Chain A
Amino acid sequence: MDLLFKDKKITGILTVLPKKVVKFEDEIENYSFSPAKSMKLKLAMGYKEHRIAEEGQTSLDFCEAGLTYLFENNLLNKGEIDALLFVSQSPDFFVPPTSNLIHGHLDMKHDMICMDINQGCAGFELGLIQAFLLLEQPQIKKVVLLNADILSPKVSARDRNSNPLIGDAASVTIVEKSSTPNTIHANIKMDGTGALAINIPAGGFRMPSSEETAEMLEDEAGNFRSKDNLVMQGDAVFNFVQREVPPMIEHLFEQASITKDDVDWYMFHQPNKFMLNKLADKLDVPREKMPSNIVENFGNASGVTVPTNISYNLGDELVNGSKKLCMAGFGVGLTWASIYMEVGNLSFNKIIEF
């Protein structure tokens, strides 16, 4: 689905990372990799280190830490927030929405919208699209988009598909109306027939968690995980991304009447370094214009990898100037989405630790 938005802008991005750093070398013994294979995969996949939340910390905690930082440093006025979007797969509760909890804890005004959206790898793009749609309303002038996932507690330490790459993180993105005319092009696609390619089988209403679902089982590849753990069909997801993402980006270029060279930076979701490099090659984009260093330094925190990418790699470049960004997310759902827009002159674009 092609989407077009007028006169909207991002005015600030704050990424909130856990302080705890876990190194790949410290986890190798959990996996059935030989030492030589581990070193090769470290380079190719981006297995270096990842940020993991402390036990008991949730997505809500990281979002509140980010918002509190912005309030206390006068970077965001609480009273000006007209909508609070929380995009995550790791809510505190099934009921109530996490955005309502944050609203209450931070004593926000009644005259506003709180909304939870369950989305993963494309969560930043879907959240931005929702923010742009809300901003079409005359009464909504400022939307706060929260992307957060603390999924490490759901990943088995002995799952070599997911554990070396999982990361925990949150981000706060401010989206507002723009007084300077601009155009934002976006597209988004869904394929629910592949929805279980990335899933957590137990813990919902369909299969409540029990002693039985907690039993650790070995799969054909030698991974140990329970039905309470995240499972990812890595091969299927890789093939889906290589098949669907390049044509989506080519189509975005057509929508916006641009060429690949008009884009300053390709800020893509980062499942692993190898997948990113293959996408850059396929699109004939220099690998250095599509950074792949988030997954190796911080891990894959689902929809938070794109804002982390922007904060880490573009930092002050987007505070002191502006750049044309092509952003893309792909994975859970299956969902794939991309946005082309100019981003710059931000009030803040940085990383803090919590």
Chain B
Amino acid sequence: MKQEIIQIIKDLRPEFDFSQEVNFIEEGMLDSFDLVSLVTDLESKFGVVIDGMDIVPENFSSLDAIEALVNKSKK
């Protein structure tokens, strides 16, 4: 799943290296508009519905956080 997530966010912001172990939000690699596109893409790719309450910066700060969000949204 991680590779698929990397591909989605690389398509979104090709200018950044998302394999780095940094906080994507704090480093300015993803902004709030990116999160809108990312949620739409993740829902479409993985067939999940992400709860609006979960659309907060900490759930998009790293690959692990995004993967955990997708898994949580499957339930």
Q: What string of 1s and 0s marks CB contacts (under 8 Å) between A18-52 and chain B?
A: 00000000000000010011001101110000000
The chain B residue sitting closest to A243, CB to CB, is B53
Of A41, A234, A242, which contacts B53 at CB under 8 A?
A: A242
Given contacts A40-B40, A44-B40, contact A278 B33 (CB under 8 A): no
Given contacts A40-B37, A41-B36, contact A221 B31 (CB under 8 A): yes
The chain A residue sitting closest to B12, CB to CB, is A37
Q: In whole angstroms, how far apart are the Cα atoms of A156 and B45 in the complex?
A: 36
Q: What string of 1s and 0s marks CB contacts (under 8 Å) between A231-273 and chain B?
A: 0001100110111000000000000000000000000000000
Of A43, A238, A281, which contacts B49 at CB under 8 A?
A: A281
Chain B residues near A234 (CB-CB < 8 A): 32
A-B contact count (CB 8 A): 49
**A: interface residue count bin:** 20 to 34
Contact A282 B51 (CB under 8 A): yes
Chain B, interface SS category: helix
Contact B37 A41 (CB under 8 A): yes
Given contacts A242-B55, A281-B52, contact A235 B32 (CB under 8 A): yes
Contact B37 A278 (CB under 8 A): no
The chain A residue sitting closest to B40, CB to CB, is A44
Nearest CB on A from B64, distance (A): 22
Chain A residues near B32 (CB-CB < 8 A): 221, 234-235, 238
Chain A residues near B12 (CB-CB < 8 A): 37, 40
B56 at the A/B interface (Cβ < 8 Å)? yes
Of B31, B33, B52, B56, which contacts A282 at CB under 8 A?
A: B52
Q: What string of 1s and 0s marks CB contacts (under 8 Å) between A155-173 and chain B?
A: 0000010000000000000
Of B37, B53, B57, which contacts A37 at CB under 8 A?
A: B37
Contact B52 A242 (CB under 8 A): yes
Chain B residues near A312 (CB-CB < 8 A): none
